[in-house]
Amino acid sequence: MSSMSTSVMAFIVVKLLVLGFQSILGDPSSGMAAFVQYSQCSVFQTPPHSGGVYTVRTKTGCARICSEDPACVAYSVSGTLCRTHEELFQTGECYIGGWTHYNIHKRCKTEGDTGVATRKCKCYDGYVGDDCWRLMIDCSEGFTSGHYDGENGLFLVHPVLSPEPFRVWCRMAHGGNTFIQRHKRSSTSFYRTWQDYKDGFGDLRYDFWLGNDKISHIVNGRDHKLIFNYIDVFTLKIRNQVYNEFKLNRNNDYQMSFVSTWGNADPSHNGGDCLGALQGQSFSTFDRDNDDSPLNCAQEHKSGFWFKSCTPCNPNGVWSETTDKKRAGVPEEMFWTPAYGDNLILSCWIFLKAD
């Protein structure tokens, strides 16, 4: 037989083997059952959740065993030995014995793990999508993605309009809430500069202002409700007020606007409208006075906010306490006049929820 005929026959044999492999697992270039080799290490210790040890003629036989086992998501081959596993191999893992390791199911990208039972990715740290391939745009998307349910904590977000991701405090309940402020203790001062309010300050786990740039990136990318929650010292009841389609204009000193507002139907939990009188107002700090008063309202109230002349509310004011649980009557204290009257505010928090 000529050398050319030998080469042709060898090519046909290889091609038939490839076609046979594809008939078992499908085309390796598509779908979940592709060979994904993660390591050719010379060491093997204890692999994750080993499913079994088998003798096979080829690695294709090992792949077939794995594909027929609902619990198997990865396998290892060393000569004629085959080991199946119930966890995917991670990049860089290395084990003893001249084994090569393969995942037959798609591995979740970035922050995520494949569930053995569901064969779906479970994402973490703000990542969403079938493969955990991108960050959520806000906490509401994290909630609706199905990856997060009821968790409170720090997550990464990447709003559509933001040039880079940043961390926020999320409550993965009630539709998903992105917190932009929390003020419940005296350890953090809210009497800050324009730059501080622009960039954000404080500890996201405790007291903080997220930052006007970050807030504008979130609310201008899609419609959000702005929700104020407060607890007054006298009744210890949570009151709230909701502002629909809240927007923040970065080109006009973070001018604030909203379409409508409503409060809790129960009068004992209704927060009362405080922002209505401030509609269309730009943000002010002591070093950038954008209010309509001859006074510097940010200096008067010792905080940054959407002041006018000066304001019916000061949620970023100085946290205080009195023996009778009533306001001291000084402009710098934290207050929200419409519903609370003269009662002191024990704590307040402001968050966003996508419509």
Range of the domain at 29: 3-103
Neighbours of 3 (CB within 10 A): 7
**Domain presence at residue 11:** yes
Q: What is the pLDDT of residues 94-137, one digit of tens each?
A: 555 577 777 776 556 666 666 655 557 788 899 998 778 899 99
Q: Which of 52, 71, 103 is the last residue of a domain?
A: 103
In the listed set 41, 68, 103, which residue is the last one of a domain according to the structure?
Answer: 103
Q: With CA atoms as reference, report the closest residue to 300 among 167, 191, 202.
A: 191
Cα maximum dimension of the chain:
107
- 85 and 185 part of one domain: no
Per the structure, how many domains does the chain have?
2
* Residue 335 in tokens: 């207050």
Residue 284 reports pLDDT greater than 50: yes
Domain annotation covers residue 119: no
Give the model's pLDDT for residue 238.
92
Q: Is 83 among the domain residues?
A: yes
User: Is residue 220 domain-shared with residue 342, that is, in the same domain?
Assistant: yes
Residues 74 and 182 in one domain: no
The CATH number of whichever domain residue 8 belongs to comes to: 3.50.4.10
**pTM score, whole prediction:** 0.72
Residue 336 lies in a domain: yes
Do 83 and 196 share a domain, yes or no? no
Which of 103, 132, 166 is where one domain is finished?
Answer: 103
Q: What is the pLDDT of residues 19-69, one digit of tens each?
A: 333 333 333 223 333 344 444 443 334 445 567 889 998 888 888 888 788
Phi, psi of 239 (to 5 degrees): -115, 150
**Residue 127, domain member (yes or no):** no
Judge if 203 and 57 occupy the same domain: no
Query: Where residue 294 sits, what CATH number does that domain have?
Result: 3.90.215.10
